[in-house]
């Protein structure tokens, strides 16, 4: 700027033949130049800087880091069943020759001042609630897995490795809670992944909450200690593949594994358990350059790929599979809900993480399950005639296949299955099938409808048979709880980011107000035991003394992202794991 003034000053020094009109013209030109320069060089509004660029110049940590090495070095334990000598390498393409990455996000236009003001107020409401919940966790349950908000205490359930703390790292970062983030990172550095509060470590939960949380926070902040601890944990999960057939165990006995005692692959596990290791282990190979993690999960992908069209409902996999027998085809019950959900979610997401160069398996698996789901699992529920116009919705059900291979739809819906609308929309953009985006929108509207239909504004865990006090169009609230789940708002987030439709932001705000009101406690938020209580007639919502780690890690994060600028965690730059942890696309 000083050089510009100096240059212009030289040009404007009066000369003997310079007229007053020329002086005025030059002054006008200077003013215009300075105005243009101001708009080109002025900083972005504080909102944008805080959300989109803060981490680029975050500076050193605000808390001292004392890295504690885990008492078991999982990477140094000699395997009883060594992997192949030449591990499968991450697929790559020659520079300039790879497939063009499809655009996922809607091209958002400039918002008006009024739209911005409304959005920011809503975002701050989400941030305030998050901070309240986090402060309560820090005060009453620090370094424990979960907060008990009513009794103001903590509880361990996932190995005692501070699940809420690790799970919430990237949420704290995104929300600009820098001091809280740095304190949490310092605590993470001291976690001992060789010492579990339970004899068995569940590989699935450890993978999505802990490993996913560490890698996402590393991708966002670049803090080296997070990668160091992620490698320790990744080596633990990798040790779970030390079996005769190199298929992973569902639970790993820490003491036995540390002593080199052989692991036994379970005869039957839910299909989501092995199927939901693929994204995180692939990302760990991408970050570290060590192909062993990706090599381990290729056997899982191969197994599901080989079996997809050999099941009783070709395209879909039974609820339970056997890793010991390497059998993913035997079974007669099929669902997109609990036990199977993230198996299907990871097919298109792994394709995206690999940049579309992972070969034909993932597109085949994705299209196969989507086509089968449209044919067999999705249904339009009977709605009350008072709903005008009639909502254009779908809901995901379950299917049981009888001995004659006839498929019977069970129109039971559960909250866990509400992820499928977002997955359909994402896959629709990845594979350029806009009809699937439309199907995803109808499925998401179905879950939004379920929220709005109940007097608390919350959808129950599971819906099925008839009771008179429920809204028409629904049968029994088979499980009437709301345990702070994210799946419905997850799909609303995807539909908002992919289509840009205003209905999704408004639906999100309705959902947030209902959730915040019904779950409110002095210390933050607690699970709801019965969403069918008629609060309008004076009913009191019964609460459960529990706050799951995914409340901050997923549910509040999705709400926050919906009311943030769309470049914050863009779907064209990140892929989110099933716990809403964003992994940077390579």
Residue 413: what are its φ and ψ, rounded to 5°?
Answer: -120, 140
Both tokens of 346, joined, read: 């990871």
Bridge-based pairing state of the strands 407-410 and 413-414: unpaired
Separation between Cα atoms, residue 458 and residue 87, nearest integer Å = 47
Q: Could you tell me which residues are beta bridge partners of residue 413?
A: 463
Separation between Cα atoms, residue 444 and residue 420, nearest integer Å = 8
User: What is the separation of C-alpha 403 from the centre of its chain, rounded to a whole number of angstroms?
Assistant: 38
Which residue has 């820490």 as its token pair? 254
Q: Is the Cβ–Cβ distance between 214 and 231 less than 8 Å?
A: no
State the distance between the two ends of the chain, measured CA to CA, in whole angstroms.
38
From 170, 180, 205, 544, the catalytic residue: 205
User: What is the separation of C-alpha 369 from the centre of its chain, rounded to a whole number of angstroms?
Assistant: 20
Q: Is the Cβ–Cβ distance between 464 and 479 less than 8 Å?
A: no
From 295, 341, 414, 490, the catalytic residue: 341
Which residue has 């959808």 as its token pair? 459
Q: Does a cis peptide bond (omega within 30 degrees of 0) precede residue 178?
A: no
Q: Is the dihedral of CA 561, 566, 571, 573 positive or negative?
A: negative
* Alpha-helix residue ranges (DSSP H) falling in 240-322: 254-258, 272-275, 278-288, 292-307
Classify 114 as helix, strand or coil: helix
Classify 59 as helix, strand or coil: coil
Q: Is 371 a catalytic residue?
A: no
- Count of positions (residues) in the chain: 586
Q: Is 341 a catalytic residue?
A: yes
Q: Is the Cβ–Cβ distance between 320 and 268 less than 8 Å?
A: yes
From 183, 345, 461, 548, the catalytic residue: 461
From 412, 414, 436, 487, the catalytic residue: 487
Contacts of 141 (CB under 8 A, 6+ apart): 147, 148, 153, 154, 155, 164
The answer to whether the annotation marks 532 as part of a ligand binding site is no
Both tokens of 54, joined, read: 């803060």
Q: Is 268 exposed, middle or buried (0-12, 13-18, 19+ CB in 10 A)?
A: middle
Q: Is the Cβ–Cβ distance between 457 and 513 less than 8 Å?
A: yes
Q: Is 266 a catalytic residue?
A: no
Q: Is 256 exposed, middle or buried (0-12, 13-18, 19+ CB in 10 A)?
A: middle
Q: Is 205 a catalytic residue?
A: yes
**Residue 238: enclosing H or E segment and its boundaries?**
helix 224-239
Q: Which residues are annotated as a binding site?
A: 578
Binding residues for Ca(2+): 578
Which positions are catalytic?
Answer: 205, 341, 461, 487
């Amino acid at each position: 700027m000083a050089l510009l003034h100096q240059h212009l000053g030289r040009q404007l020094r009066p000369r003997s033949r310079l007229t007053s009109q020329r002086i005025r013209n030059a002054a006008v030109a200077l003013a215009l130049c300075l105005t243009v320069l101001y708009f080109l060089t002025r900083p972005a509004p504080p909102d944008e800087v805080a959300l989109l660029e803060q981490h680029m110049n975050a500076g050193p940590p605000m808390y001292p880091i004392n890295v504690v090495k885990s008492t078991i070095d999982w990477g140094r334990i000699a395997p009883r069943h060594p992997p192949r000598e030449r591990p499968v390498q991450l697929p790559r393409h020659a520079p300039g020759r790879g497939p063009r990455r499809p655009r996922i996000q809607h091209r958002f236009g400039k918002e008006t001042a009024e739209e911005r003001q409304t959005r920011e107020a809503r975002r701050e409401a989400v941030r305030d609630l998050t901070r309240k919940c986090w402060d309560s966790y820090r005060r009453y349950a620090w370094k424990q897995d979960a907060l008990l908000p009513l009794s103001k205490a903590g509880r361990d359930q996932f190995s005692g490795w501070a699940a809420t703390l690790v799970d919430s790292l990237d949420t704290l970062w995104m929300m600009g809670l820098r001091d809280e983030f740095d304190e949490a990172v310092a605590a993470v550095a001291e976690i001992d992944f060789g010492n579990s509060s339970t004899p068995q470590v569940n590989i699935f939960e450890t993978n999505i909450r802990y490993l996913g949380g560490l890698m996402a926070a590393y991708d966002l902040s670049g803090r080296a200690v997070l990668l160091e601890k992620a490698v320790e944990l990744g080596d633990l999960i990798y040790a779970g593949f030390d079996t005769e057939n190199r298929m992973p165990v569902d639970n790993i006995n820490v003491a036995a594994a540390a002593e080199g005692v052989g692991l036994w692959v379970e005869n039957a596990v839910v299909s989501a358990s092995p199927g939901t290791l693929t994204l995180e282990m692939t990302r760990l190979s991408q970050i570290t350059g060590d192909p062993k993690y990706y090599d381990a999960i290729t056997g899982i992908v191969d197994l599901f790929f080989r079996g997809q069209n050999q099941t009783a409902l070709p395209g879909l996999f039974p609820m339970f599979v056997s890793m010991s027998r390497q059998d993913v085809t035997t079974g007669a019950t099929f669902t997109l809900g609990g036990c199977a959900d993230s198996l299907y979610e990871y097919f298109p997401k792994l394709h995206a993480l690999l940049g579309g160069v992972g070969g034909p398996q993932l597109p085949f698996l994705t299209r196969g399950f989507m086509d089968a789901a449209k044919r067999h699992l999705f249904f339009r529920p009977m709605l009350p005639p008072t709903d005008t116009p009639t909502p254009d919705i779908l809901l995901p059900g379950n299917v049981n296949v009888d001995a004659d291979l006839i498929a019977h739809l069970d129109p039971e819906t559960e909250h866990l299955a509400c992820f499928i609308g977002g997955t359909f929309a994402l896959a629709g953009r990845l594979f350029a099938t806009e009809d699937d985006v439309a199907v995803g929108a109808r499925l998401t509207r179905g879950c939004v409808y379920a929220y709005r239909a109940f007097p608390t504004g919350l959808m129950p865990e599971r819906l099925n048979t008839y009771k008179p006090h429920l809204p028409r169009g629904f049968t029994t609230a088979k499980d009437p709880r709301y345990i702070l789940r994210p799946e419905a708002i997850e799909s609303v987030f995807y539909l908002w980011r992919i289509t840009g439709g205003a209905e999704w932001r408004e639906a999100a705000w309705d959902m947030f107000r209902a959730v915040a009101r019904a779950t409110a406690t002095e210390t933050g938020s607690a699970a709801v035991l019965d969403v069918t209580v008629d609060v309008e007639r004076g009913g009191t919502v019964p609460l459960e003394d529990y706050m799951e780690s995914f409340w901050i890690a997923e549910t509040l994060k999705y709400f926050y992202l919906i009311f943030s600028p769309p470049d914050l965690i863009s779907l064209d730059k990140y892929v989110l794991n099933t716990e809403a942890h964003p992994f940077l696309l390579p």
